[in-house]
Structure 1
C-alpha cells in the first residue's frame, strides 16, 4: 500500500500546517544539515505509532513545535551537525510555541481507496488517534495498520540511518533475531513457545482422543449391532408370540369345531348305538364261530402237517422208483433210437429191392411181350398155313432148343430174383411187423413217461406247498417267540421303571406329602394361566439347574422367589392379585417382566475363583424370562465347597452372596446361615423330575399295552 503524502502541523521543526508530497514509487529527500530530513522520518514513524524513545525524544511533548530563542552569537552553518536538530528537544520556550502537534499520513490501497491515519499530541503528552477523521483507540488504530501489513513493533516499514551498516555487521543469530523482529514474530516468541507446548499437548490429546474415539466408535458400532440384534430378537420374539397366539387360537378354533362336530357325531352315533350293539353281538357270535373254525383249521393244519410229513416220507420212498423210471425211460429212448435206425436201414433195403424187383418185372414184361408177339406171329402163320412144313418145324425146334440153351442163365437169374423177392418180401413184412411193435412200445413208453412226469410234477408241487407251509409255520413260530421275548423284556423294563418311579415317589413324597397350600397354589396358578394369557408360571417351573448337584444351592439362592409367579406386564400382575383377592385364593408374589428392577451382572465373577460360578450360569431358562431370573439370582455365587466361599467373601473381600452345594450361605454382611437340613435339599426340582418321569413311564406303559392289544 503506497504512501501518498504526509501532512504535519507544528511537529518538531515544522511550524504550522505543512503538506509533504505526493510521494512517487521512489522519492529522495535531500538537503543540508538541519533542514529537517530526519524530522520527516520521525513524522512518518510518529504517525505510524512508533514510541517516543525511537523518535529521538524522551517525552512525547518534546515533539510539539516550540518557538526559537534569539540567537546570542553568530552561527556558522558549516559547523552545524545532525545533533543541532536536537535543540528542538530543549525545554526552553521560544516565540510562537504551539499547544499541540499532529501528523496525517495518506495511504492508498490496491482498490485505490485512500486511508487517513492521523496522530495528535499535546504539550501534556496525551495522544489522540484518528482513522479516516474518526477518533479511535490505539488498539483499533494499530489493528488497521496491521491489516495493511504495517507492523509498528517490528518496524518493517522504515530503514533508519545506520541500519544497513548495522545489519551487515550482525551475526547469523542477530540477523535471525532482526528478521523475527521485522516480521513481528519476536514479540510472539513466548506466545509461540506456549502455543507450541499447547500444540504438542493438543497433538497428544488429539492422538489420545483419536485412539479413544476409534475405540468408542468400535464400541458404538458393536453396541449398534447388539442393539440391532436385540431389536431383531425382540421383533422375532414378538412375531413368535403372535404366531404362537395365532396358532393357539387356530387350535382352539378347530378344537371348538371338532367339539361341535363330535357332539353332532355323538348324537348321531348314539342313535345308531343300539343297532351297532346288536351288530356287535352278532359279530361276537361270528367271532366265536370264527374262533371255532380257527380251532378246526388249526386241527386241520396239524393233520395236513402230518400228511405233509407222510407225503415227504412217501416222496423219499418214491425217489428210488423215480430213479428206476428215469433209467427205464433212458433205456427205452436208446432202444427207440436203435429201432429207428434199423427201420431206416430196412426201409433203404426195401427201396433197393423194390427197384431191383421193378427192373426184373420190366424184363419179364418185355420177355412176355416178345413171347406173345412170337405166339401171335405163329398164330397168324398158322392161319395162313395150318401146318408147318417139316423144315419149319425142325427149324422151330432147333430155335426152341437154342433158346432154351441160350436163356438158361436168364431163367436162373429170374428164378433167383423171384426167390430173393419172396425172401425180401418176407423180411420186409417182418421188419414192418417189428417196426409196428417198436412204435407201439415207443408209444407205450411215451405214455409211461408222461404219466411219470405228471406224477413227478404233482409230487414236486405238493412238496413245494408243504415246504411253504412249513416255512410259514416256522416263521410264525419264530415271530411268536420274538414277540414273547420282546414282551418279556418290555415287561421287565416297565417293571424296573415303575419300581424306580415308585421308589422316587416314596422318597420325594409327591403323591402323599404335598401340602395343602402347595396344591392350592398350583390350582390357583392353573386358573390364572387359563384366564390371563400373560401368566408364564412360577420361577421353579420356568428354570432348571444344569446339574443335579446345583439344585440345593439354587433353591437357597432363589429363596422366597422360588414360588413367585412371572407375568409379562404389571397390569397382568394387578389383575391376578385382584382375582386372587376376589376368589380368596391366598397370596402370591408376582414378578412383572416389564417393570421389574434388575442389577447388571458383574462379569468378573464368571472367572473370579476356581469352583465359584454365577447362579444365573448354572440354571436353564427361556430368554423371555431372563429379567425375572436376573432379579431372583442377582450376582449370587454357587461355590463347590465352603473353602471357596470363604476365599471369595473373606479373603478377597467381595460383598456378594455365596452359597455352597450343601446350602450353606455366606451373606454380604459376612454372616453364615443354612445347611442341607435347613433348606431341605432340592425337593422342588425332585418333584418336577418325579412328575415328568411318572408321566413318561405311564406313557411308555400305555404304548406297550396298546402294542400288546394290537
Structure 2
C-alpha cells in the first residue's frame, strides 16, 4: 500500500539493504518494474536535513540499473562517506536506530491469530443450534399470529355476510313500504301529474314577470358576497393583529424579566469578581511566601543532605559500589546462613517521614555487614583482603554489647524510639539494630526535640525529621496554593468572560430586543385601531343591502302569488313555495335513503371481497409457517445431535488437555528444579573454571619447566655423545641420541622435534654408581654447587688431557655449533613467550574495552527504561527492569526484561496483553534510542495492537518527546493517534492506466488541541 511505499522510500534513502526493502533488486523499486513495465529507467529519493545552525543537508540515493548512486548536496560520494555523514548526525545505518518496523504488531497479535484459527467446533455448533432455536421460536410465534389472524378474518367475513343480508333486507322493506305508500296515494299522484303542465307553465310565466327583479337580486347577492368576504378578511386580520399584540406583550415582559435577571447577575458577578481578585492577591502573596520558605528549607536540606551523602547507597552509581555488592554476594555464598547482609538493606522505616532521621541515627553503621559470629567476621575480612576489596565494617551478633532499651522513653510525649519506627527482617538482626540505634529518639518537630533533649534531668540523643518533612510540607503547601491560585485565576477569567457576555447581552436586550418589540407593539396597536371603523362600515353596507334584498324577494313572492293563486287554491296550499318545499323535501329523503342503501351495499361487497382475499393469504401463511416450523424442528434435532457429538469430542479433548496440562506442570516443575540445579552447577562451574584456569596456568608453567628440562637433558645427552662420553644406561643405547642438529644447516631455527624427545625419553640412565648423598633429593642450590664442583674437576681433567695430547678441533667446532643453535632456540622461545604475553594483554584490554562499551550502553538503557515506561504508562506505579544473565560478560548471554503494568502485580512478559507488550517494547526501543539518539524516529503502525487508552498515552509521550528530543514520523491508521500530530501526510491511490499513489498534506499546528490534557 501507500504507507509501505513511504516506508520503503525512507529506508532506501537511509541506505537500507535491498533485502529489507521487499524486493530482490533495486530496479524493482521503480513503479511498474515488477510487472515488466517500468515507468522510468531511473528513480531517486532525496532527504533534506536541517541542522541546528539552519543549514540544510540533502542526502540522495539514485537507482541506476541494478545499482545505486549516493549524493550529498548533489555531490556523488561513496557508501562509506555517505554512511559517515549520516553517523555524524546520529543516524546509525547498521544499528537502524531510526526505524521501527511492523514487527511489534506481528509479535503481539501472533497469539490472537493462532487462537482465531483454532476456534472449537463445539462453539460453532452451539451457535448454530441457538440460532435455529431462536428461528424456530420466531416461526412458532409467526404461526400463532397467522392462525389468530385467520380465525379473526374468518369471523369478520361471517359478520360481513350477516351485515350484508341485513342491509339487503332493510332495503327490500323500504322499497315495499314506498310502493304501498304510492298505491295508497295513487289518486293524489294522478292529480299532481295532471297539474304538472300547469305548474310548469305558471312557473315560466312567473319567471318572466319577475325577470327584472331576479336580475337585481342576483346583483345584490354578488355584491353581498363580496362585502361578506371583505368583512371576513378584516375580522381575520383583526384577530391576527390582536394575537400578535399579545405575543409582543409576552416578549416585552420576558425581555424585562431577562433584563432584571441580567442586572442581578451582573451585580452578583461583579461582587464575586472583586472577591476572586482579593483571593487572587492573597493566594499570590501566600505562594510567594511559600516559595521563599521552600528556598530557605531547600538550602538547609542541601546542607543536611551533603552531611548524609557519604551514608547513601546507590549500587548502580559506579563500579566501586558494584564491586562491594559482588564481594557481599560472594561471602554470602561462601557462608550461607552466617552472613545476613548490610544493615541498611535489612531494615526500613515504617513511614517515609522517618527516612532521614533513621539514616542520621544509623550513621556509620548503615553500611555495616551483619554476621552471626566473630569468627565469620574475621574469615570474611580475610577473604576481602585476598580479593583486594575495600575495608568493610562487620557487626558479629555474638560479639556486640548492647545496652537494654530504656522503657521510660516510650512514654515521652511527641517522641518515639528510633528502633520502634524501623521494620527489620530477619528477627536475628535485632541485636545489631539495637547496637546501632541505642536509645535514640525521633521527634515530630524541633520544639519537642529541644524539650526532650535539654529539658529533663538527663540528656537524650534526639533526631528531628524537620529537614525532609518541613520541605515536603512547604512544597505541598506551595503546590496546593499554586493550584488554588490557578483555579481562582481560571474562575476569575471565566467570570470576567461571563460578565462581559452578560453586559453585552443586557445592552443588546435593552437597545435591540425590547425597543424593537415596543415599536412593533405600537405599530400593531395603531393597525388594530383602524380595523374597527372599516368593519363597522362594511357591516352597515351589508345590513342595508340585506333590507333591499328582502324587499326584492317580497316583491318576487307577490308576483309568484298572483300567478299561482288559483293553482294553490286548487291543490290546497297557502302558496306555491310551501308546495315546492314539501315536494322537494320528500323526494330528497327518498333519494337519500336509496343512496345510503346502495352505498352500504357496495361498501360491504368490496370489504367482503377484500376479506376473502386476505383470508386466502392468511391460510397460505399458516400452511407456510407450519412447514417452516416442522423443517426447523428437524434441523434443530440434527444440530443437537451434532452438538452432542462435538461436545463428546470436546470432553475427550479437554481430558487430553488436562492430562497435557498436568504433564506440562510436572515438566515445568522439573524444568524449574533443573534450572535451579543448573544455576547451582553454573555457579560451581564458574568456581571450578576459575580453579581450572589457575591449574591450567600452573600446568602450563610446569610443562614449560618440563620442556626446558627435557631440552636440557637432550642437550646434555648430545654433548655426551659428541664428546664420546659413555653413560651407564639401563635401557636404550647412545645411538638413540639424535645428531640431526649437527647435520642440518646452522641457519635452521626449528625446535627439537617431539619425535626425538620421545625417542630419547626411552633412554634410562643407571644412577647406581652415584654416591648415596647424590642419590637423595637435592635442592637447586645444592645441585648447582655439585655441578660447579664437577665442572671444576672436569676442567682440571681437560687441562691434563690437553697437556697429554692434541685437542680434537673438529669436536670443539661441533660443540660451538650446537651451543649457538641452543642459544638461538632459547632466544626464539623467549620471543614466543613475550608475544604470547603481549597477545594476552591485548586480549584482556580488548575484553575490558568491550565490557566498558557494552556496560555504558546497558547502564544508560537500564537507568532510563523505568522512567520511559512510567511516562508511556502515565502512571508512577509502572515499573520496568533490565538484568543481564551473565554479569561478568553480559554480551555473551541474554538480557532479562520484565515489566509491572500499572495497577497489576508482577507477571512474566509472555502473560501480558498485546497492548501491554507493545507499550513495553516501545519503552525498550525508546530507552535504547536514548543512549545514542538519532535526530528522528520512523515508526510503522506501532499502535496496531493498542486500545484507545494506550494509544492516547503513547501518542502524548511521542508528542512530548518530539518537542524536546527527537522528530517522529509515525505511520498510523487510527484516528486517535494521528490527531495528535503536528501535520498529516495522506497517501491515496489514483486510478488510471495503472494505479499510482498521490500525497496530501495538512498542517494541524495552526489548530488548537481540543483536549490538550488528555
| TM-score normalised by L of structure 1 | 0.27
Kindly indicate whether structure 1 or structure 2 has the higher relative contact order, using CA contacts under 8 Å at least 6 residues apart. 2
| TM-score normalised by L of structure 2 | 0.19
